[in-house]
Amino acid sequence: MQSLDSLYGALNQRLIDAGVLPNLKYSAQINQSVSRPDAPAPEAPTPQQAAGRPGTTPAPVEPALFDLDLSAPPPSDPGALFSGLSSLLGEHRQSHPDAPLLGGTRSIVSFSPRGASRTYSASELLAALNRMQQQSAHELAQRLHQPQAVEGLKADLQQQLESHSSLPGDSKVSDQEADVIDLVGMLFDFILDDENLPDACKTALSHLHTPYLKIALQDKALFTQHHHPARRLLNTMAQAGVLYGNEGDERGLLAKMQWVVERVIHGFSGDLGLFDSLIEEFNEYVETLRHKVELRERRAVEAAKGRDRLLGAREQALEVIQRCIGQRNLPTIIRNFLELTWADVLVFVLLRHGEQSSEWKRSCEVAEQLAWSGTPLNEAEALQLQEQRVPMLSDLRKGLELLGGYHEDGIRRLLQDLVACQHAVQAKQPQLAAQLKPTLPESPLGAMLGEDADLARQAPSRSKLSARAQALTKELANVEFGTWFEFVEGSKSRALKLSWFSPTTHNYMFVDHSGQRVAIKPLTLLASEMEKGLARIVTPERATPLVDRALTAIYRVLQRFTGRTAEPR
């Protein structure tokens, strides 16, 4: 009698494959009064075993029974989330079978004949997907650079089912399988719409739709288990795309992602071990890429620290020059020399000898003496200037030689012009002083610092900030390195990471996903941009795995479709 169980099971499977009452279940009535020897419980087939048997119906991982409030926020437990998704999908299918789903794609139900009374068997469905995967493998080289549209895939699936069915006008996909097809479709629609992913990465991942649909129809653990190999691979590639895929590296990460997609489409026939090996190899590549990015970022930070020392010294030097000039109405030659040339001398002296050195103090004194010499002096002051002129000119010469941008003839002519200007001012002949306009060489520091040299002038002063912006400066002072910001640039936005900020100049350095320096922003300018909505700190959602984000988003959309929320969250 015990052998009848297997016989009935085989007969029932034959009926299912033929489409006769595929949802009929049997159970043997057990006489509780008859004692039987204890027998070991049969082992359930593993997902790999189930997925590897074409034409069979594996034991599905059904959603556990959860007491869910479908109007509440999406549950954090993956099993409860899948159970809620199944309930919401079924409810939506019953009430709005032709309504578009997430991404605007129609349900697979709307592709089936209206009056169909028969459902396709699992073996028919798997065979259709196998044919689609084989066709995709043949055409992949041409199709890989164009996204795989979800609606087009559903139409292809329906066409494959009908073209190989004996009753194409009377067959449809079962409700349970339709829900899985639609859920996987919404997952890939989410991928194609994900703003965090670069378009090239979305396109590559979209071609995994067919093999992932095969897996989901046979192994619901794809939705309920975070460690499922196929789920881990999809999450891993998507996260790599978010972190490192935005820089147009066609030969790097994108090529590796495309290689993985090709391996899955050409090689997946049911063994999930393929995904384990691909995860391992892909992670090795990403680890190498991560080290390159970190090295590039470290170099950018070290360079920024060096430039920041220059900026800090330059700001200090310019403060000295401005104090020397003050309210004095100086001839152009002396003013330009102090602001454009001697300021650089002060920077080099400060960096080489320090603020407490005699060299720094003497260089500041020379700047003050030169500014003073360009103003009308009384008789006693004129005698004082005459005594100071020789040592002052000697120190001016040393400073110009320190810069290294002057030849001897140029230094001599420049010093002669400065002395001529002093005499013209003391002779009360300002028109003669105004005629002295030597061409000063470009500042080597200005060329070295580039646009960074103008940062201080671009930034608003703290006193001019609004109360809100001033509060933001205090918040920004506590932001940690590694925090991601989003900056609005015209009609586009760009995510950049705070890599370093200067405690002296209060400049914030941002890098892109590749670790390359992209922007330096003074604290007050950054606070002002945040106040205007041109910059914001990015929420941690970027670090949430793709499938988790997708299923949560789908849950919320289905809640809205079934009338449980009025507006998208």
Backbone angles phi, psi at 255, to 5 degrees: -60, -40
* Closest listed residue to residue 502, CA positions, set 207, 258, 273, 304: 304
Q: Are residues 266 and 380 in the same domain?
A: no
Tell me what pLDDT residue 100 has: 87
Question: Which residue, 429, 450, 471, sits at the end of a domain?
Answer: 450
pLDDT value for 59: 40
In terms of domains, do 46 and 82 share one? no
Q: For residue 56, is it within any domain? A: no
411/517 same-domain check: no
> For position 44, what pLDDT does the model report?
40
Encoded tokens for 84: 């809620």
φ, ψ at 40 (rounded to 5°): -65, 140
Residues 147 and 260 in one domain: yes
- Could you tell me if 407 and 344 lie in one domain? yes
Residue 471 sits in a domain of what CATH number?
2.30.30.30
Asked whether the beta carbons of 255 and 211 are under 8 A apart, the reply is no
Q: Looking at the 3D structure of the chain, how many domains does it have?
A: 4
Question: How would residue 56 be classed by pLDDT, with cut points 50, 70 and 90?
Answer: very low
Sequential DSSP letters for 160-218: HHHHT-SSGGGEE--HHHHHHHHHHHHHHHHHHH-TTS-HHHHHHHHTTHHHHHHHHHH
Interval 117-121 mean pLDDT: 92
Least confident of 249-253, 263-267, 361-365, 412-416: 249-253
Expressed in angstroms, the distance from the first to the final Cα of the chain is 58
546-560, pLDDT tens digit by residue? Answer: 999 999 999 999 999
Domain assignment present for 169: yes
The DSSP output letter for 126 is H
Same domain for 233 and 128, yes or no, is yes
Is residue 35 very low, low, confident or very high in pLDDT (cuts 50, 70, 90)? very low
Query: Could you tell me which of 269, 237, 243 has the C-alpha nearest to residue 256?
Result: 237
Verify that 467 and 410 share a domain, yes or no: no
pLDDT tens, residue by residue, 472-528: 999 999 999 999 999 998 888 888 999 999 988 899 999 998 899 999 999 999 999
Looking at 219-223, 297-301, 406-410, which range is the least confident one?
406-410
Q: What confidence category does residue 234 fall into, taking pLDDT thresholds of 50, 70 and 90?
A: very high
So what's the pLDDT on residue 4?
Answer: 44
In this structure, the answer to whether residues 367 and 503 fall within a common structural domain is no
- At residue 501, the pLDDT reads 93
Q: Does the pLDDT of residue 46 top 70, yes or no? A: no
Has residue 549 been placed in a domain? no
Torsion of CA 323, 329, 332, 338, to 10 degrees: -10
Percent of the chain topping pLDDT 90: 62
Rounded to an integer, the average pLDDT of 431-436 is 85
Give the β-pairing of 171-172 and 118-119: parallel
pLDDT band at 284 (very low <50, low <70, confident <90, very high): very high
Looking at the predicted structure, is the pLDDT value of residue 60 above 50? no
Measure the CA–CA gap between 231 and 19, rounded to whole angstroms: 32
Is residue 64 one of the residues assigned to a domain? Answer: no
- Regarding whether 326 and 393 lie in a shared domain, the answer is yes
Note the pLDDT of residue 185: 96
Mean pLDDT of 259-282: 96
Cβ neighbour number for residue 511 with a 10 Å cutoff? 21
**What is the distance between the alpha carbons of residues 403 and 528, in angstroms, rounded to a whole number?**
37
More confident residue, 26 or 6: 6
pLDDT on residue 8: 47
Residues 438 and 476 in one domain: no
Indicate whether 408 belongs to any domain.
yes
Tokens representing 22 are 């595929």
Q: Does residue 115 register a pLDDT over 70?
A: yes
Give strand pairing partners of 509.
Answer: 500, 520
**Residue 215's pLDDT band (cuts 50, 70, 90):** very high
Same domain flag for 103 and 247: yes
Asked if residue 551 is part of any domain, the answer here is no
- pLDDT confidence of residue 569: 46
Query: Which element (helix H / strand E) includes 497?
Result: strand 492-501
DSSP for 24-84? --------TTS-----PPPPPPPHHHHHT-TT------PPPP----TTSPPPSSHHHHHHH
Report which listed range, 18-22, 34-38, 58-62, 471-475, is most confident: 471-475
The sign one gets for the Cα dihedral 67, 72, 77, 83 is positive
- Predicted confidence at residue 21, as pLDDT, reads 41
Distance from C-alpha of 335 to C-alpha of 345, rounded to nearest angstrom: 15
The reported pLDDT for the residue numbered 249 is: 55
Compare 47 and 446 and report the one with higher pLDDT. Answer: 446
Give the closest residue to 525 by CA, choosing from 438, 445, 450, 451. 451
- Structural domain for 26, as ranges: 4-51
Mean pLDDT of 349-353: 95
In-domain check, residue 567: no
Q: Within the chain, what is the greatest distance between any pair of CA atoms? A: 131
Same domain, 414 and 315: yes
3-state secondary structure 91-144: HHHHHCCCCCCHHHCCCHHHHCCCCCCEECCHHHHHHHHHHHHHHHHHHHHHHC
Print burial letters for 213-248: b (CB count within 10 Å at least 16), e (below 16): bbbbbbbbbbbbbeebbbbbbbbbbbbbbbbbbbee
Over residues 276-305, the mean pLDDT reads: 94
**Inside any domain, residue 72:** no
Question: Which of these three, 428, 450, 472, is where a domain ends?
Answer: 450
- Which two three-digit tokens encode residue 179? 């829900």
CB 506 within 8 A of CB 308: no
Of 244, 272, 296, the one marking the end of a domain is 296
